[in-house]
Structure 1
Amino acid sequence: MLVNLSRKEWVEAIERLRPLHLNEREYVIDALIATFKVSATYFIYSDKEKPVISFIALGNKKKIFNPIHFFYSAFWVDESLSDPKYAACVSHFLKELTAKFNNVEIRLPLSINDVRPFLWNNFTVKNFYTYVKDLQEESYHPSTAKNIRKTANKGYECKRENLNEHNLALNMQLLTVLQFFPKTIVGIEAFLKRVSSKDEFSCYSCYLNGELIASNIMFLDFQNKIAYTVLLNKLADEIKDDVHSLLHHFFFRDLKERGFAEVDLLGGDMQSIAAFKARMNASLKPHFVVSYSKKKSSIKGYFQKVKYIAKRLISKF
């Protein structure tokens, strides 16, 4: 059964089961609400009174969507469920959810790799990829390892630091290069500023003779020992050294020393970026964005019914 709880009730129920994920933390949800003018609905689906699915639905009115691209949706399914039980519970959850909302978009976390219940319930599925680096394995492609050693001897200084106007501006430039809409860039910048004072937010930057050369913005999930890269950029073409690889090497080591197990490099779909991340000897992982439209589902159902009736009529002749 699907129930809608208050924030306090939802957190209490989840913390009896597992640690909260970063994208479920109150300050993250509050920052998303304030920046993107959305509301949050806290759902738990239980099977025989045991919570097996949780979801924080962000959106407005009858629409659920993911307001920012570098967070997975706050969607969780009990990993101890058997295959038939998983399929049944997720299907029932989706039926109840789509009865409440006209449009639903969920950016599934990496832990969800069985999308059959979504397909069975008239969701469309888009496949994306990311790379995940195991911090216990400090190994790289030979060319990357060589570039790291070479660049390290040229006087670059890598360090962890707080967000400031310089590293923020450098990272925001990447979104312009990638042709994000200006409104989207403004929203992302405002969100980053809202959460920048938190311990789970960090920047790693590379300097040469005191000048900022490259910078990376990360979110840190301390409880689950996972770090997420958000943005990474360097000064334009005048910097020929492989400072990106050097900076990755630095923050991989720093995060490992701080107890993190892995880094989700958040992206593997663009060919040039995928090649770079693959040379970090990171593992390629698929993830999915699932979408539902009540209007499209109704039209599809109508045509399926017409097709069925037509087949029945033809069979009689």
Structure 2
Amino acid sequence: MNTKLDNKIAFESSCEDYVLRTEANALSSPRWHEFNEAKWGVKTHKIAVSESAKKYPCIEGTFFLNKKNQIVQPPLNAYTPILFKSTPTNSPRRLYHQRSRLSEKLIHHMLDIGVSNNVLFLPTDYTDVRPWKWANFDVGVRYTFLMNFPYSIEKAGPSVRSRYRKLCQNGFRVERTNDMSLIYNCLIETEIRNGFSHSLSLKDLELAQDIMGEDMMRSYVTYSPDGKPVSGSVVLHKENGRGISWLVGYKRDYAQDSPNTLMDVFCFSDLHKAGATGIDLVGANMKSVADNKAAWGGEMVPYYTIELNSWKTVARSIRDYVRCKNTLRSKV
């Protein structure tokens, strides 16, 4: 396989033979796949489905397989990358039929491989999930915020602009870093404070950087006025694609300063200079998180989840129903 050629094709928006109808990003990169294989013990399975003998239209995708050779979505993967390449047409009717027929073929391929009892997240621009629903998949919806570049702080709400000005005035600063221990320490404090785990060690972060490189895995640190690292983040970048927010954390003692605000503005500018079209803030499914991300002035968009119907999906539906009923009762 000619990886360089594949990457070049994946990030062109159009050519004589096809038009790329879905965004390509770092999740389609072989380097990202290599890290997932090394960290999570999965295998990469690339697919391309087309109509009869024609090369286009087609859907290209990358799935990860577990030890049972079933499709899974490893932890810390924002989406399962799927690219839809249509013929050069602007006809809604033709585009609808091309995508529908190819989605059906993709689903048959997925079922032939085998799908684990694992939720898969489709990319934000893959909005027609009816073929999965018709094929007895459980379909859900989640939300995220997309920011387009160039970005101006004036697009943000008053609270964000105020925090940004105070951080600048008080002498906080942001730099890119290749010292993963700075990122790791910020992540660990966030995990302890919020009671969860990224399941990433310092060695894992260093491995990720070794595999993906500093250009693709862009890491940022905010420093306090006295030079202490107080927040850190990692974004996955691919030129001509949308950045994917991957990891973020901050030190508890500086929570009142909201150091991530300055870091995010720096990150947006850095990604734009590196050729990114925007950034996906990845996830807005908790009210507090959604409210914070909305303040940046991006567009809230849905993305869809798919999962084979099973006892797990039935049990989850019952659980959600009971929670909803209890919530309504508590407000009466």
- Provide TM-score, normalisation by structure 2: 0.77
Q: Residue 109 of structure 1: SS of its match in structure 2?
A: coil
Residue ranges of structure 1 left out of the alignment (5+ in a row): 1-7, 300-317
Aligned mate of 1:131, from 139, 145, 159:
145
- Distance (whole Å) between structure 1 residues aligned to residue 6 and residue 251 of structure 2: 46
Q: Deviations over 1:87-136 (max 9, x none)?
A: 12201221232133153743211120111111011111121111111122
Q: CA deviation at 1:78?
A: 2.3
Q: Does 1:77 align with 2:84?
A: yes
For the 8 Å contact 1:10–1:44, the answer to whether it is kept is no
- Residue in 1 aligned with 2:217? 201
- Distance (whole Å) between structure 2 residues aligned to residue 194 and residue 147 of structure 1: 34
- Residue in 1 aligned with 2:114? 101
- Residue in 2 aligned with 1:168? 184
- Distance (whole Å) between structure 1 residues aligned to residue 5 and residue 275 of structure 2: 26
Identity of aligned residues (%): 19
Matches for 1:145-160 after TM superposition, within 5 Å: 145-160=161-176
Q: CA deviation at 1:246?
A: 1.8
Matches for 1:1-317 after TM superposition, within 5 Å: 8=1, 16=9, 18=11, 21-48=25-52, 49-51=54-56, 52-60=58-66, 61-78=68-85, 82-103=95-116, 105-138=119-152, 139-180=155-196, 185-186=199-200, 190-197=203-210, 198=213, 199-208=215-224, 209-224=226-241, 226-292=242-308
Q: CA RMSD in A?
A: 2.7
Which AA in structure 2 matches 1:265? L
- Distance (whole Å) between structure 2 residues aligned to residue 12 and residue 105 of structure 1: 31
Which AA in structure 2 matches 1:136? P
Q: CA deviation at 1:237?
A: 4.5
Which AA in structure 1 matches 2:252? A
Which AA in structure 2 matches 1:30? E
Q: Residue 78 of structure 2: SS of its match in structure 1?
A: coil
For the 8 Å contact 1:132–1:282, the answer to whether it is kept is yes
Q: Deviations over 1:17-41 (max 9, x none)?
A: 6557422322221221121111122
Which AA in structure 2 matches 1:40? T
Q: Structure 1's 192 and 287: CA in aligned 2 closer, same or farther, altered over 3 A?
A: farther
- Distance (whole Å) between structure 2 residues aligned to residue 204 and residue 191 of structure 1: 17
- Distance (whole Å) between structure 1 residues aligned to residue 149 and residue 104 of structure 2: 36
For the 8 Å contact 1:128–1:269, the answer to whether it is kept is yes
Residue ranges of structure 2 left out of the alignment (5+ in a row): 13-23, 88-93, 315-332
Q: CA deviation at 1:79?
A: 5.3
- Distance (whole Å) between structure 1 residues aligned to residue 107 and residue 45 of structure 2: 15
- Provide TM-score, normalisation by structure 1: 0.80
Q: What is the total number of aligned residue pairs between the two structures? A: 286
- Distance (whole Å) between structure 1 residues aligned to residue 7 and residue 238 of structure 2: 16
Which AA in structure 1 matches 2:126? I
Which AA in structure 2 matches 1:203? S
Q: CA deviation at 1:190?
A: 5.0
- State which drifts further: 159-168 or 120-129: 159-168
Q: CA deviation at 1:71?
A: 3.2
For the 8 Å contact 2:173–2:262, the answer to whether it is kept is no
For the 8 Å contact 1:132–1:264, the answer to whether it is kept is yes
Larger Cα Rg: Structure 1 or Structure 2?
1
- Distance (whole Å) between structure 1 residues aligned to residue 162 and residue 115 of structure 2: 53
For the 8 Å contact 1:133–1:262, the answer to whether it is kept is yes
Which AA in structure 1 matches 2:239? F
Q: CA deviation at 1:82?
A: 1.1
Q: Deviations over 1:234-256 (max 9, x none)?
A: 11145422322122122222222
Q: Residue 103 of structure 2: SS of its match in structure 1?
A: helix
Which AA in structure 2 matches 1:130? T
